Amino acid sequence: MSRLSRARAELPHPEVGEIDLLEVLHALSDPTRMKIAATLRETAEQLCGTFAVDVAPSTLSHHFRGLREAGVIRQREDGNRRWTSLRREDLQARFPGLLDQIVDHYEHADPGAFR
């Protein structure tokens, strides 16, 4: 790993106390972003590029950024790879019960979303 890549700044994430309810709702109001969040409930951490969503890579990057800036996901870089995880504990601390209720409703209302 080059010195440059080791020194690369971490991606910006809001602190727990900065997570805004309206931004979380907006982040989850898009079908691709909701599907990413629902997928991440089932796994600890997942490589970007391995999500079963049917959008262009640039669009997907845009959605990851929206989720990250809203405080829904955390992303970390590992060499050339980027890992994504749900900020489940942080969201639970900030808005207890909210994330699970929303994603549960989504999965209940749209059971075919993961086909």
Q: Which residues bind a second copy (CB under 8 A)?
A: 21-23, 25-26, 28-31, 34, 95, 97-98, 101-102, 105-106, 109-110
Residue 57 CB, nearest distance to a second copy (Å)? 22
Based on CB atoms, which residue is closest to a second copy, 45 or 110? Answer: 110
Shortest Å distance, C-beta 106 to a second copy: 5
- Report d(CA 13, CA 74) in Å as an integer: 7
Tell me the DSSP string of 32-77.
HHHHHHHHHTT-S-EETT-S---S-HHHHHHHHHHHHHHTSEEEEE
Min dist. Cβ of residue 69 to a second copy (A) = 14
Name the residue nearer to a second copy (CB basis): 78 or 110: 110
| Complex with a second copy: residue 26 or 81, whichever CB lies closer | 26
d(C-alpha 107, C-alpha 19), whole Å = 24
Q: Which amino acid is at 30?
A: D
Min dist CB 105 to a second copy, Å, is 5
**Closest by Cα among 75, 89, 91, 58 to 12:** 75
